[in-house]
Amino acid sequence: MPTIVMKFGGTSVADLQRIENAADKVIREIVRGNRCVVVVSAMSGVTNQLVSWVNSLTPDYDAREYDAVVATGEQVTAGLMAIALQKHGIKARSWQGWQAGVISTTAHGRARIQDIEAERLERALAKGEVPVIAGFQGVTAAGRITTLGRGGSDTSAVAFAAALNADRCDIYTDVDGVYTTDPRICKDARKISRISFEEMLEMASVGAKVLQIRSVELAMKRGIKLQVLSSLEDKIGSDLPGTLLVKEEDVLESHLISGVSCSKDEAKITLVGVRDMPGFAASMVKPLADAGINIDMIVQNVTADGNATDMTFTLSSADLHKAVKALEGVADKVMTDDKVAKVSVIGIGMKAHPEVALTAFKAMADANINIMAISTSEIKISMLVSETKADDAVRALHSAFELDKVEKTPQILKVKHKEGR
């Protein structure tokens, strides 16, 4: 019997009616002969509320207690969903992260799953129960509750799919898939039917917030078939109505660009007049790394006078305050700007097409948008622009690469689904 992990995000369980709709989808999958494992988020808005309560008491909170508070959102939904299923005669049972054997690191607030001890869950499944698991939660070896970082229930779902050897992991959310860009910014955005894990990772890392990035990394590593689809539409996952994440080689006709993404939660820091000498980059990055801060685009100017140079890098604006503190003493002058955005074009097709950069830069020039920094990878070109220009930049790039016009859905080879076997 095929096993499907069905994950419902916050908007998909936002109220009792939506919880009942989600339960209905689970029942329809069961009727089709699938074994279902349900993973739920907190009802929408709940986690934000819990986080803000903690922050209102003190920004210097004990992260263990932050986790004790914010993990409760998922507990409520798991119980409600189990009841909604039981109403229809389904043998459902709620599971907290610790009950479901989600062993995590001790990095409270951003813990990582180390292992899932799935024996108890497997026994429940064997008895015909439908587990309804609180996503986002783990437990340390010492028995403290942890949470997996915002959006972490996606990662919970993929981790359970891996641990239980599931045939597919369906992530139900409030959009019907991954789009060529944010439809709120560009009305011509189109749904992508198939995207490679690699492209999706780039989309996620630069701000397409459909899936937590770690969930995509894990799915890629473990070969989990992952689908993003809408819970607000009538279709169920087995009809494959959403966006399927597949291996790169499963995309037959490679296309130049898959999408344009935009991250506005960006800030930039410039260290002015730093010594141009061996070891400086390391001395700058070390305190940031020690503080757990990721930095991204790093630009070092060529020294004009042979002594001093400027170093600019970007980071999440949420980390700006912490970063400035960590950098105390590293440079005489630190300039910050959190009114910046990172706009990126992403596509596996660009590997073989150097003209992509030209098209991108020309689109920005034609739209009269200044590029402050550029970074590239094999399948991505990112540009840092003023936040006020970010939406224009997205629209300019989307149309320059004709993402609105081209039927960009590539044909797919070898996407086998084991359902119905």
Site residues for ligand ASP per CB under 6 A: 9-10, 41-42, 47, 73, 135-136, 150-154
| Spatial distance between the Cα atoms of 124 and 208, rounded to a whole number of angstroms | 36
SS3 at position 410? coil
CB nearer to ligand ASP: pick between 27 and 43: 43
Q: Which does 237 bind (CB under 5 to 8 A by kind): Mg ion, ligand ASP, none?
A: none
Q: Which range touches Mg ion (CB under 5 A), out of 1-9, 26-34, 195-203, 347-355?
A: 1-9
Q: Which does 73 bind (CB under 5 to 8 A by kind): ligand ASP, Mg ion, none?
A: ligand ASP
Contact status: 259 vs Mg ion (CB under 5 A): no
Contact status: 135 vs Mg ion (CB under 5 A): no
Q: Which does 47 bind (CB under 5 to 8 A by kind): Mg ion, ligand ASP, none?
A: ligand ASP
Crossing angle for the helix pair 72-86 and 63-70, to the nearest 10 degrees: 20
Q: Which does 410 bind (CB under 5 to 8 A by kind): Mg ion, ligand ASP, none?
A: none
Q: Which range touches Mg ion (CB under 5 A), out of 104-112, 150-158, 361-369, 410-418?
A: 150-158
CB count, 10 Å around CB of 76? 16
As measured in angstroms, the least distance from the Cβ of 176 to ligand ASP is 18
Q: Which amino acid is at 264?
A: K
Q: Is the dihedral of CA 109, 291, 344, 202 positive or negative?
A: negative
* b/e sequence 291-329, b meaning 16+ C-beta within 10 Å: eebebbbebbeeeeeeeebbbbbbbbbebbeebeebbee
CB nearer to ligand ASP: pick between 70 and 363: 70
Tokens of residue 81, six digits: 């969903």
Q: Which amino acid is at 247?
A: K
Q: How far is CA 371 from CA 297, 383, 388, in A?
A: 13, 6, 13
Contact status: 349 vs Mg ion (CB under 5 A): no
Nearest residue (beta carbon) to Mg ion: 151
Contact status: 237 vs Mg ion (CB under 5 A): no
Contact status: 177 vs Mg ion (CB under 5 A): no
| Spatial distance between the Cα atoms of 372 and 41, rounded to a whole number of angstroms | 38
Q: Which of 287, 140, 286, 263 is nearest to 213 (CA)?
A: 263
Contact status: 9 vs Mg ion (CB under 5 A): yes
As measured in angstroms, the least distance from the Cβ of 158 to Mg ion is 12
Provide the binding-site residues for Mg ion, judged by CB under 5 A. Answer: 9, 151
